[in-house]
């Protein structure tokens, strides 16, 4: 009887070992291949990086084509909607956009049909959409100053020189030819909460905050942000918005860049 019991126990133990071995083999078969999993992660990461890199490309036509004129780097393709206009790159004195229209928005100066109420058509259409969206959210915006001719820039600059001297004037107001307003793609925006003035207090108003957070959805960027004065060459202007198109505006907004920094990072294709 004892012998029979020993045989049965041995059989059960043997069966248990075989079952355990089967389970181990089965688990090993089901265990993910760590090498394969690592490769998959790397592939996905590379795919994401490629997607990011593809975002940072721009057609060559949107880069400044410059020529030195009287010691200035003058932009020859001035009608380019992505033109980088600043203290380094100037527009020709005779450049006037050929598609200027008056957007159907509220102006701080009412219905006067004057130079500064105009924008290039693409920028004007986007401005109308932006103002309408803001109004739907209880935000009332007023356009204050759009297109500015070379002659008008000269008048504004001289007035500032007379007021505060040439050095300070160059920090506050663009030297003629270096103003984005001449592109017809920039608009100064204000509100009743700051008495329709262009002041830094606009930053703290509901209108200023809405613009900062939403302008990119319509292709506009806050052109001279706080903390980027050394990059742009201009003091913080919470009222000055520049049209660059929705794709570029989204990238600039998400990466907290200026237009200068965008062109420092984007690849020409």
Annotated catalytic sites, by residue? 237
Extract the tokens encoding 3.
């012998």
Tell me the C-alpha distance between 124 and 103, whole Å: 5
Quote the radius of gyration of the chain (alpha carbons, Å): 31
Distance between CA atoms of residues 166 and 128, nearest Å: 36
Q: Retrieve residue 167's tokens.
A: 């050095």
Phi-psi region of 138 (alpha: psi -120 to 50; beta: other; left: phi over 0): left
Looking from the CA of 86 toward its CB, the CA atoms found within 13 Å total 19
128 vs 134: CA distance, rounded Å: 10
Per DSSP, the three-state class of 180 is helix
Residue 125, classed as helix, strand or coil, is helix
Q: How far is CA 67 from CA 64, 70, 91, 160, in A?
A: 10, 10, 11, 29
| Site of tokens 């200035």 | 72
């Amino acid at each position: 009887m004892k012998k029979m019991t020993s045989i049965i126990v041995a059989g059960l133990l043997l069966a248990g070992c075989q079952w355990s071995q089967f389970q181990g083999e089965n688990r090993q078969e089901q265990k993910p291949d760590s090498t394969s999993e690592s490769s998959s992660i790397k592939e996905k990461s590379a795919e994401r990086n490629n997607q990011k890199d593809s975002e940072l490309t721009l057609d060559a036509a949107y880069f400044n084509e410059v020529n030195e004129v009287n010691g200035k780097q003058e932009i020859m393709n001035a009608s380019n909607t992505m033109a980088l206009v600043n203290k380094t790159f100037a527009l020709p004195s005779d450049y006037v956009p050929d598609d200027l229209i008056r957007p159907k928005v509220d102006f701080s100066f009412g219905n006067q049909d004057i130079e500064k109420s105009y924008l290039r058509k693409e920028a004007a259409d986007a401005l109308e959409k932006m103002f309408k969206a803001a109004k739907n959210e209880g935000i009332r915006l007023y356009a204050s100053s759009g297109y500015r001719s070379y002659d008008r820039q000269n008048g504004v600059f001289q007035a500032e020189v007379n007021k505060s001297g040439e050095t300070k004037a160059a920090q506050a107001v663009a030297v003629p030819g270096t103003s984005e307003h001449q592109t017809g793609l920039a608009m100064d925006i204000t509100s009743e909460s700051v008495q329709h003035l262009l002041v830094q207090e606009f930053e703290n108003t509901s209108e200023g905050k809405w613009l900062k957070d939403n302008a990119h959805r319509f292709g506009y960027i806050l052109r001279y942000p706080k903390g980027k004065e050394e990059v742009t060459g201009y003091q913080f202007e919470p009222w000055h918005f520049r049209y660059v198109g929705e794709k570029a505006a989204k990238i600039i907004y998400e990466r907290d860049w200026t237009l200068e920094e965008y062109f420092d990072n984007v690849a020409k294709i």
